[in-house]
């Protein structure tokens, strides 16, 4: 009687923790897309390590040296063909089926997962930003007074792309024009911040250049800015002075071209030291409302796509 009859343990892989570690790494990658870069990197490293160990374990039978022939088995019945003396089974059927199953599972997983990830993750990282916005000549912005400037980022999108910036001409800095250009998006929850001052509506000017309409309304005086939604208050440099906002107002980069003021990308500001042309701005990549951008708190907020 064959003691190994019915014992198929040799044809099955031994229990292993590598698939579990691989799954944990994949989960960390997805969590990292929400929490931040550090978790994403850890997930990628864990996935790579456990994936390598898993593949190495699965293919160990293919890389192992042939084992010495076992003692002769009981005589084979006459009606079955006898194996040749030099015939060796090099690739067991169980290994083949295991490899095929893993391969098909990987292909099916890729077919299902890649399109979903592509449509959910890629859009925020492509076709972002806007062209430089011409908001007027330098003479349209009197020194040391804010001008409420409204414009469309993309005329093709219509009113949904309308933005408002508070622009103050700070005079010259090292012989070059200096401007403070604040976004009106409250950094608490994104409500429109208003000027704490009197807009001179009767001096409103509208200008259209290259299909882009820009409205400019001077202010008599601006004692900072306030959010009507939840009471956030900012000083003239955009620093948070009261209420729930977690940082200073966002700002626009700018450039001067042939005597015209052009607005460029928006960036976030932790705080501003000093005033006007002498202000020292603690600048960061653009973040969403309610997000800390400096200090330990910033580690708790999601990775931001380029904008």
Residue 160: pLDDT band by 50, 70, 90 thresholds? confident
* Range scoring the smallest mean pLDDT among 35-39, 59-63, 279-283: 59-63
Residue 274 three-state SS: coil
Which single residue is written with the structure tokens 């955009």? 238
Helix, strand or coil for residue 147? Answer: strand
What pLDDT does residue 175 have?
Answer: 84
CATH homologous superfamily, domain 133-300: Rieske [2Fe-2S] iron-sulphur domain (2.102.10.10)
Separation between Cα atoms, residue 286 and residue 36, nearest integer Å = 15
Worst-scoring range by mean pLDDT, 67-71, 114-118, 182-186?
A: 67-71
The full DSSP string for 216-238 is: EEEEEEEEEEE-TTT--EE-TT-
User: Torsion over CA of 169, 171, 173 and 179, rounded to 10 degrees?
Assistant: 0
User: pLDDT at residue 285 above 70?
Assistant: yes
> What pLDDT is recorded for position 3?
46
Q: How far apart are CA 100 and CA 252, in angstroms?
A: 56
Q: CB under 8 Å to 42, separation ≥6 — which residues?
A: 28, 32
212-245 residue pLDDT tens: 888 999 988 778 899 999 999 999 999 999 999 9
Characterise 80 by phi-psi region: left (phi > 0), alpha (psi -120 to 50), beta (else). beta
| pLDDT value, residue 4 | 47
At 1 the pLDDT is 47
The pLDDT, as a whole number, for residue 233 is: 93
Higher pLDDT, 26 or 34: 26
Mean pLDDT of 72-94: 59
Residue pointed to by tokens 């079955």:
80
Tell me how far apart the alpha carbons of residues 166 and 192 are, in angstroms, rounded to a whole number: 12
CA angle 61, 81, 86 (to 5 degrees): 45
pLDDT tens profile 288-300: 888 888 888 777 7
Q: Does the pLDDT of residue 140 top 60, yes or no? A: yes
Give residue for tokens 């103050």. Answer: 168
288 alpha-carbon distance from chain centroid: 11
Averaged pLDDT of the chain:
80
Measured in degrees and rounded to the nearest 5, phi and psi for residue 194 equal -115, 155
| pLDDT, tens digit, 9 for 90 and up, residues 9-20 | 555 555 677 888
Task: Give me the residue label for tokens 């882009």.
Answer: 212
**Domain segments of the chain as ranges:** 11-63+91-125, 133-300
Helix runs in the chain, H state only: 18-35, 37-58, 60-63, 93-121
pLDDT of residue 101: 82
């Amino acid at each position: 009687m064959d003691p190994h009859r019915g014992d198929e343990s040799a044809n099955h892989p031994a229990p292993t923790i590598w698939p579990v570690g691989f799954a944990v790494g994949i989960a960390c990658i997805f969590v990292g897309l929400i929490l931040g870069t550090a978790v994403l990197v850890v997930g990628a490293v864990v996935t790579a390590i456990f994936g390598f160990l898993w593949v190495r374990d699965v293919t160990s039978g293919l890389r192992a040296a042939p084992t010495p022939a076992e003692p002769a088995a009981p005589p084979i019945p006459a009606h079955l063909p006898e194996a040749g003396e030099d015939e060796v089974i090099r690739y067991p059927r169980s290994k083949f089926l295991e490899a095929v199953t893993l391969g098909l599972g990987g292909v099916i997983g890729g077919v299902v997962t890649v399109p979903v990830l592509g449509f959910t993750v890629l859009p925020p990282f492509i076709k972002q930003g806007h062209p430089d916005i011409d908001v007027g000549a330098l003479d349209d912005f009197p020194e040391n007074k804010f001008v409420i400037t409204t414009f469309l980022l993309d005329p093709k999108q219509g009113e949904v792309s309308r933005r408002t910036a508070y622009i103050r001409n700070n005079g010259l800095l090292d012989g070059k024009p200096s401007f403070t250009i604040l976004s009106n998006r409250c950094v608490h929850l994104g409500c429109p911040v208003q000027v704490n001052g009197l807009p001179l509506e009767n001096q409103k000017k509208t200008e259209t250049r290259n299909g882009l309409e820009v409205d400019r309304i001077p202010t008599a005086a601006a004692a900072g800015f306030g959010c009507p939604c939840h009471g956030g208050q900012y000083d003239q440099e955009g620093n948070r002075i009261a209420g729930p906002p977690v940082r200073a107002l966002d700002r626009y980069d700018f450039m001067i071209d042939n005597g015209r003021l052009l607005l460029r990308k928006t960036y976030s500001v932790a705080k501003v030291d000093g005033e006007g042309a002498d202000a020292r701005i603690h600048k960061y990549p653009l973040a969403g409302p309610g997000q800390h951008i400096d200090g330990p708190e910033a580690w708790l907020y999601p990775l931001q796509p380029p904008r």
